[in-house]
Amino acid sequence: MPVKIPNDLPVKEILEKENIFVMDETRATHQDIRPIQICILNLMPIKEDTELQILRELSNTPLQIDVTLMRTSSHQSKHTSKSHLDTFYKVFSDIKRQYFDGMIITGAPVELLEYEDVDYWEEISQIFSWCNTHVTSVIYLCWAAQAALYYYYDIPKKLLPKKLFGIYSNKVFNRKAPILRGFDDCFDMPHSRYTEVTVRDIVRCRELMILAQSEEAGVSLCMAQNGRKIFVMGHPEYGRMQLRREYERDKKKGLGTDMPEHYFPNDDPGRRPVMTWRAAANNLYTNWLNYYVYQTTPYKLDGTPWGDEIPDNYN
């Protein structure tokens, strides 16, 4: 089944060329079904790239998905045009009284800042609180995962000796969790970050369950509240060339970033990277949509199964 997106969203043409089933708003209005409502809070600088990456993953499911793109209002984007943002993106004030079956909150290049020093921390904290009563299940990616663990469970992040950068193998734990159905014993995931949440701190929190862990990259996947909150420490949505683009960008900036590990064949940047993580990424998002969203969310989307009170500070 398709992902429903706005009629003129620029990445629509790219998705169609990749033989990915997308449906524009005009066609979708003629179908008498209840689509799954998914909100994507896109915190990445180049928003079109992240739109494309996540929509690729959401398309590989038999469910029809209605996507709402969201941005923060307290941060001025420098890498995405104002016209694109005004045309295709909502802000929190636009959607705060809506309910969603699922939500994805992306990473952001602000890891080296303290959480409270991020210019949209107050806003995203409000969104984290709102998710408890307005979204059935949320996937938090990379920085958003670390930030959410800090917000909900007071778990700190720690600075790594150098940037964790590359493709890392993960061992599956707690295989009975539906999010891991169909996974091999080990699977790859891209990581690109300067900070981590340690295994020790996650284990100490009884509300969290570790689902996958890497010897090199630490915890890659954990969850809480039976899948209402899913924390993904890497970037399973990344395309084949994303790490190469980041590597070249860092070199131009003189950041001294090491070559991404386990990425280029024979560590030769001139060779085309081999994609080894796409199947696991597709499985992750498909399992999330099926077992933690579709099978759980109410048919009448006017609240979540856990309550629908609107805090006073949302007025």
Residues classed as catalytic: 142, 235, 237
**197 closest CA partner among 214, 215, 216, 219:** 219
Asked whether the CA dihedral 225, 36, 181, 237 is positive or negative, the reply is negative
Query: Which amino acid makes up residue 207?
Result: E
How far apart (Å, rounded) are the C-alpha atoms in residues 172 and 183?
Answer: 8
**152 closest CA partner among 64, 222, 245, 242:** 222
Instruction: Extract the tokens encoding 41.
Output: 């809070």
> Cα 200 to the chain's mean position, in Å?
24
Q: Is 313 helix (H, G, I), strand (E, B) or coil?
A: helix
Q: Is 135 helix (H, G, I), strand (E, B) or coil?
A: strand
How far apart (Å, rounded) are the C-alpha atoms in residues 154 and 99?
Answer: 26
How far apart (Å, rounded) are the C-alpha atoms in residues 304 and 310?
Answer: 12
How far apart (Å, rounded) are the C-alpha atoms in residues 99 and 295?
Answer: 16
How far apart (Å, rounded) are the C-alpha atoms in residues 129 and 10?
Answer: 32
The vertex-239 CA angle with 235 and 244, nearest 5°, equals 90
| Entry field: residues in the chain | 315
The vertex-5 CA angle with 85 and 297, nearest 5°, equals 110
Alpha helices in 185-257 (DSSP H): 199-204, 242-252
How far apart (Å, rounded) are the C-alpha atoms in residues 42 and 51?
Answer: 8
